[in-house]
Amino acid sequence: MVGSISADVTAFADRLPQPGETVLGNDVTLVLGGKGANQAVAAARFGAPTWMVGCVGDDAFADLTAGDLRRYGVNTDLLRSVPGPTGVAHIRVDANGQNDIVNTPLANGHLDADQVDGALAALASQASVLLLQLEVRAGITAHAAEAGRRAGLAVVLDPAPAVAVPETVWQHVDIVTPNESEAGLITGIEVTGVDTARKAAQWFLDRGVRQVVITLGGAGAVSVTAAESHEYAPFAVTAVDTTAAGDAFTGTLGAALALGLGSADAIRHAMAAGALAVTKRGASPSLPDRDAVLALAGRPATA
């Protein structure tokens, strides 16, 4: 796992405020977050040996985030401490489980190519899948994708947030996992369902990605390769907080692949993990363990 680490400060209220408005909240939490850390936790909780490559600061949040990573079973030997504050995300969640997020990278901006290269060298023959996101500098993600491909790893990129990336990154990506809004922002194709998701997927395939898995929220997911396309029905759950649902999906997908599951089974387990994540509050605390994922994945999805 190469990516971001943050302390998530989450405020819960009946509704989100309009610009310039103050609303009263009903709860607040401070937990480990960051898309990289969340996906690492999801992978570790599914049972795959997981290493986190990233940066924390020299503040109290560094102890909280690194400590929680270890508590969830993630190896932190490849973390680097840098001067200044650890990354922070401010999250607001309404009564329907919808959220908005302001992510401030801070220490995450110090992740560099030398750290990535050193980590991949240290993990030679130990890792088979490399998970990436875009909460660190896009150039570093692109470098990690190329280095991971060169090292023989399966490179999985969650292109969130949907920021501009070097065009060369796509040719080094085996699997890309955008949600519908990210797919639309990146490709310029509005994704409103399965048909438009397939069109957006073709944009990624044309640029060298081997497999595109677009998640469609309550409508399930679509997987597209040059040879075939498959739809995956969602699991019916009651959403409490959608924070980290995508991280649960991608982290579990990477872990399932690393543990030897085929693509279809890996996606189904990833969808179960994403569904379970929305049933609990918070980022890392909502990420399900292996037994819960296996139990839900064994049930029929909705029609």
Q: Residues in the chain, how many?
A: 303
Whether omega before 161 lies within 30 degrees of 0, making that bond cis, reads yes
Catalytic option among 8, 68, 174, 247: 247
Annotate 89-158 with DSSP letters as a single string. EEEEE-TTS-EEEEEE-GGGGG--HHHHHHHHHHTTTT--EEEE-SSS-HHHHHHHHHHHHHTTPEEEE-
To the nearest 10°, report the CA torsion of 99, 129, 227, 274.
-30
Those residues with Cβ within 8 angstroms of residue 112's Cβ, 6 or more apart along the chain or in another chain: 140
| CB 108 within 8 Å of CB 140 | no
Q: What's the CA angle centered on 122, arms 80 and 48, to 5 degrees?
A: 90
DSSP assignment, residue 187?
H
Residue 114 appears among annotated catalytic residues: no
Q: Which residues are tagged catalytic? A: 247
